[in-house]
Structure 1
């Protein structure tokens, strides 16, 4: 009797990852999932770190690989996990990011109104569940946190989940930012389950400390890098301007899928009916549209598009205190006079906002440390590092973006 064919993917982070035959393999082959090959994991961060071109597809496969190791570790420690639960948690982690739009977060704040990628991920999973005759029912329960074995949800979505465990190591690798390089193997090896909760054994406390510090550093140095912030703000504003023009009757050159979202108001109530069209959208739609829009008659749309395509970004300043309104008005006024544009148009180029960094939030489940005496305590209490408590505090900073003086 021939053994069933095994599919392996060679990942640059972990080496070979085995893809289970059956529903998991079929989901990876599905067009909804294959779309993730065309969506960058870190949005426009490659304008700062040239190596950061890796995709949501790579991240999802990496998460699956880490989850497989975590489940094996738990089983080896006597945690009983059924075949159905294993498949369910594998599907949940594989599809946890399937709802991301082009450039990961830009869509959520522009042409789709108030719809999170988590909500769209759930809709995709429910649509796939119908197509796969209910095979994703348990995965959806685990993903939503409604399944009675809560540690499975913690593995997918928690303060020390397989999502964070992969993206920190992967993003560190592709950006070359060594400070984010966590010890994934040891984190996974220290996992256990007690009282239906995911815990980390006491000897792994220092590895968790390193994980939290790495997360904080990666946010300040990579995810919240000032150039990355202004780039993401610009692409959001490009799409907002494109939608504004479309609603006023201007027909813009773009793909059919992008055209649909520019012309229609899509919110949490209507996104479900637009799921197939959303599935056709990826980074390529946005980039090709912006290349066309660089020569458009509209000053705002063309200048914003050129800023991204040519990496001629806005100036950005960051400080703890909010910027004075007079500073904002000064930059706007200068721009309005120079280019004879309205205050509304100038606001696309001059704006303020806030960024925040909280490496650890124990109110959202926390990270439980299993002490050698059998007690469970939060990692902050288990740690002898005073600095770890400071990681629980949210640090908020203000930014101001405005055009560079034209040479």
Structure 2
């Protein structure tokens, strides 16, 4: 069977699968599941084109990793065949543990377990199946390999993951400001003392990258409509779990039922749980919500109706914390209107905060390499006044309540 396939990607054109192991991993049922996991959660309710999947993104990352390895080798960095393959595997599988709609599940029906931890469980399981051929990839993914630049290519402030998702998300949303020149960024990469650096002439591309990231977060990923939709989805799943715990029978697919009926944490995430998790995707949640729209429970019925029909709560974003009085006012109005309990009302009236820091000065800095051999952090190297401001964390506050 020909395993060196070529895929057509709307962003990069033709992508070649580098070797037969990568092909076998792509063909595996665990990875094929990513075709049914939306890359951008509920963002399609704001940007109708944002229906691309985690599958798209992972394949794009492998393509960029091929470019990065070729560039670094061209510049004299030694990367063995084993390391090359491990880098492809690590970047291909870095998102394999995402649940339905990408992040909603982490905050509702499983507790204290992140998608990175589930990705690792999948990788360890696949490593057994593929006779240990993922061992080095797992080491790199965990950040434990002795050549730090390889770990930085997978996860850092200028990694292959970000280089693909910013470009891809900007393409599918139509938000041009997020479009980074990922190929130029990769061409400017180099390695000094086994750490990733960007050559001096790539400094403006890095500035654009950081600014594009800030823009995409505030305009797209934390867009108020997408934010309220995701919060409603989290509340749908939390309510369904609470009702199930109280003995209420809900129509749901077998995998979704399992996660509603059991308290799942990292300790209880067995191989059996992993096999059930692999069956769970966006379709389970959507079909469940279509059923639950007609349920007797006031909260579940109305939450599902809001998400399915995009008739969402009103949301206001402010620069100062939301006053308790304001929250109380909306809660009381809802209680009075529908004769529901205060705890039920809090599913529809709530406040929280959102944070974003476009560049973190204390975390795996983006270093610029000068011709003289000097290495300097991008904030110091840049003559762009905004970069200093972009390295400060920004917090905003929001309140949601019925229209």
TM-score over 0.5 (shorter chain) = yes
Contact kept, 8 Å, 2:154 with 2:160, in 1: the verdict is yes
Contact kept, 8 Å, 2:31 with 2:55, in 1: the verdict is yes
State how far apart, in whole Å, the 1-side matches of 2:397 and 2:270 are.
Answer: 35
Contact kept, 8 Å, 2:72 with 2:189, in 1: the verdict is yes
1:384 aligns to what? 383
1:174 aligns to what? 172
- Once the two structures are superposed, the pairs formed by residues 8-407 of structure 1 within 5 Å of their partners are 8-273=6-271, 274-404=273-403
Scaled by the length of structure 2, the TM-score of the pair is 0.99
State how far apart, in whole Å, the 2-side matches of 1:364 and 1:31 are.
Answer: 35
- How far apart are 1:5 and its partner, in Å? 5.4
State how far apart, in whole Å, the 2-side matches of 1:272 and 1:79 are.
Answer: 40
Aligned with 1:374: secondary structure? coil
Aligned with 2:362: secondary structure? helix
Aligned with 1:231: secondary structure? helix
State how far apart, in whole Å, the 1-side matches of 2:366 and 2:2 are.
Answer: 39
- How far apart are 1:181 and its partner, in Å? 0.5
Regions of 4+ moved over 4 Å: none
Contact kept, 8 Å, 1:318 with 1:397, in 2: the verdict is yes
Aligned with 1:192: secondary structure? strand
Shift in alpha-carbon separation, 1:55–1:4, aligned structure 2, 3 A:
closer
Contact kept, 8 Å, 1:123 with 1:272, in 2: the verdict is no
Shift in alpha-carbon separation, 1:5–1:323, aligned structure 2, 3 A:
closer
State how far apart, in whole Å, the 1-side matches of 2:267 and 2:298 are.
Answer: 33
Shift in alpha-carbon separation, 1:328–1:4, aligned structure 2, 3 A:
closer
- How far apart are 1:4 and its partner, in Å? 6.3
- How far apart are 1:272 and its partner, in Å? 3.1
Residue deviations 1:350-386 (CA, integer Å, cap 9, x gap): 0000011111112110101111110111011110111
Deviates more, 1:203-212 or 1:268-277: 268-277
Deviates more, 1:260-269 or 1:18-27: 18-27
State how far apart, in whole Å, the 1-side matches of 2:398 and 2:3 are.
Answer: 53
State how far apart, in whole Å, the 2-side matches of 1:333 and 1:114 are.
Answer: 32
Contact kept, 8 Å, 1:39 with 1:282, in 2: the verdict is yes
State how far apart, in whole Å, the 2-side matches of 1:131 and 1:114 are.
Answer: 27
Shift in alpha-carbon separation, 1:371–1:272, aligned structure 2, 3 A:
farther
Scaled by the length of structure 1, the TM-score of the pair is 0.98
Aligned with 1:271: secondary structure? coil
- How far apart are 1:322 and its partner, in Å? 0.7
Structure 2 residue runs of 5 or longer lacking an equivalent are none
- How far apart are 1:22 and its partner, in Å? 2.2
State how far apart, in whole Å, the 2-side matches of 1:367 and 1:346 are.
Answer: 46
Structure 1 residue runs of 5 or longer lacking an equivalent are none
- How far apart are 1:271 and its partner, in Å? 1.8
Contact kept, 8 Å, 2:357 with 2:393, in 1: the verdict is yes
Contact kept, 8 Å, 2:156 with 2:364, in 1: the verdict is yes
State how far apart, in whole Å, the 1-side matches of 2:308 and 2:175 are.
Answer: 25
Contact kept, 8 Å, 2:4 with 2:23, in 1: the verdict is no
State how far apart, in whole Å, the 2-side matches of 1:366 and 1:219 are.
Answer: 20
